Amino acid sequence: MHALASPRLVSRLRASSISHSTGWVVAWQLSKMKSKFLIGVMFLAAAMALVEVQAAEGPKKTDEGVKHVSAKEAQKLVAEKRVVVLDVRTAAEFKQGHISGATNVDFKATDFRKRIGQLDKSKTYLVHCAAGGRSTQSLPILKEQELKSVYHLDGGFNGWKKEGLAIEK
């Protein structure tokens, strides 16, 4: 029996005597199943292609107005001096290495909200942590403190290092 044949169809075929005409019915049903499978595969391929096209379009805005960028896109923003880099990792992590010119404001510190409130609201910020968790959690606070222009480094500092981009110690 064909791999795409349903168990119900197989049991029906076993229970009855298969005549020449029944064989044609089975072949027809199998061809319909193959068609549905192929249509599903084509739909999946089209959806994946759409995702690839969207990923190539550059920074993505979220509901909060934050633009998500890759390490390469972030590097370009930093090189063009279009952003202030805001590193929300701990001081110990920061000392082990950071993006050149970054400002360290520890997300876990008790005064995090206050320190964010003291930042220049007219500037554009690139926020990151090690992998993206803490910086993502910080986004509502950045919005609450009225920072209007924010980029988020997807993949965090680890993504930056993985791309082989320059770091400072």
- Give the pLDDT of the chain (169 residues) as one tens digit per residue: 555 556 665 555 555 555 555 666 666 566 666 667 767 666 666 666 665 555 544 555 554 679 999 999 999 999 999 999 999 999 999 999 999 999 999 999 999 999 999 999 999 999 999 999 999 999 999 999 999 899 999 999 999 999 999 999 8
| Residue 124 three-state SS | strand
> What is the pLDDT at residue 132?
94
Say if CB 156 and CB 135 are below 8 A apart.
yes
Second CATH level (architecture) for the domain 60-162: 3-Layer(aba) Sandwich (3.40)
Say if CB 97 and CB 124 are below 8 A apart.
no
Catalytic residue among 126, 127, 129, 150: 129
> What is the pLDDT at residue 11?
59
Summarize the chain as % helix, strand, coil (round to 5).
50, 15, 35
Cα–Cα dist 102/165, whole Å: 14
Q: Where are the domains of the chain?
A: 7-56, 60-162
> What is the pLDDT at residue 39?
73
Cβ contacts of 63 within 8 Å, gap of 6 or more: none
Distances (CA, A) of 43 to 32, 46, 48, 50: 16, 5, 9, 11
> What is the pLDDT at residue 40?
66
> What is the pLDDT at residue 57?
47
Q: Does residue 129 have an active-site annotation?
A: yes
> What is the pLDDT at residue 136?
94
Cα–Cα dist 30/59, whole Å: 45
> What is the pLDDT at residue 38?
65
